[in-house]
Structure 1
């Protein structure tokens, strides 16, 4: 499993209906993309920030480098930084819909042993959870915890899920 996200910051006066329409008309393109566990098409405030969980590095490479969809982002918004985290844990919750998303990024303390920290990372199934993933970037030693929810989780900084492509959701494994 590889978690991946890029964030496109839009001007404060940007009409987010443009993004909503883009997702309405193009979002289905990845509904059966090989190697993709899922893609959550996310927005919040003036930001478009899709989040992916890839089952294979080949699927991610096809998307980014072989005309598998990323060309539309490049043409419309330029080349964003693509964050990615090798997967450590994945949990499929009980919720049937993914309507909201949260992301938490924390940096490992310099003295922390990655083996100890990663070995203790875990996900708990809580009511309303659709799915959750944890990944670690060994370049920066940042841990990302990404969760999808059926109902708004009641915290700040929550993303709205405009579309959810899940071609290989049932095949996601981590670690």
Structure 2
């Protein structure tokens, strides 16, 4: 499993209805993408849920690197590049994934928390803690799913969770979920990934 995200940050007075309209028009294009576990079309608005910025930041969990590469190099990502320029793409190796008690419900919000791995930390302990946090998040009331992943170049963990209500029980940045493409969500490996 691979996690991936890119972010487009817009001016404070940007009309975020432009992003809503874009997702409404094209969000379905990944509903059947081979190798994709799920893509959440995420947005933050300045002043909403504590966000300091207007931002579009889709988050992906991939079942296969071929699916991810096909998206990046085979045309899917080119639409963003054509319309907004080429953003850096964050990429993390999967550590854990769990379905939550609200797995059958529509995800309304997402929470993302990025966390540095401290120099000198016992890596096995840090990764086990990330797996445990995934289990705790998935067990919380209203959790649709939760995942953890690590970037070993920058030594950064990402904790990601989806919720069926607007008051999630998770620390981090809150995003609105505009659409969710999930052609291979049922095939995402559960639990600890090593």
User: Normalized against structure 1, the TM-score is what?
Assistant: 0.95
**How much does 1:120 deviate?**
3.2
> 1:132 aligned to 2:146?
yes
The whole-number CA distance in structure 1 between the counterparts of 2:101 and 2:123 is 30
Q: Please show how residues 40-79 of structure 1 align to structure 2 within 5 Å.
A: 40-45=40-45, 46-67=54-75, 69-79=76-86
What CA distance in whole angstroms lies between the structure 2 residues aligned with 1:156 and 1:72?
A: 29
CA distance in 1, matches of 2:183, 2:159: 21
Given the alignment of the two structures, is residue 83 of structure 1 paired with residue 83 of structure 2, yes or no? no
For residues 136-175 of structure 1, the aligned pairs below 5 Å read 136-153=150-167, 157-173=173-189, 175=193
C-alpha separation between the residues in 1 aligned to 2:24 and 2:71? 19
Following TM superposition, the consecutive aligned residue runs of length 4 or more in structure 1 with deviations greater than 6 angstroms are none
2:127 match:
118
| Shift, 1:156, TM fit | 7.2
Residues 36 and 28 (structure 1), Cα distance of their counterparts in 2 relative to 1, 3 Å cut: same
> What does the per-residue CA deviation read over 1:120-160, in whole Å, with 9 as the maximum and x for residues that have no partner?
32222111000111000000110000000000125774100
Q: Distance in 2 between matches of 1:6 and 1:170?
A: 24
d(CA) in 1 for partners of 2:71, 2:6: 13
Q: Compute the displacement of 1:112 (Å).
A: 0.6
Question: May I ask how many residue pairs the two structures share in their alignment?
Answer: 174
Q: Let me know the Cα RMSD of the aligned residues.
A: 1.3
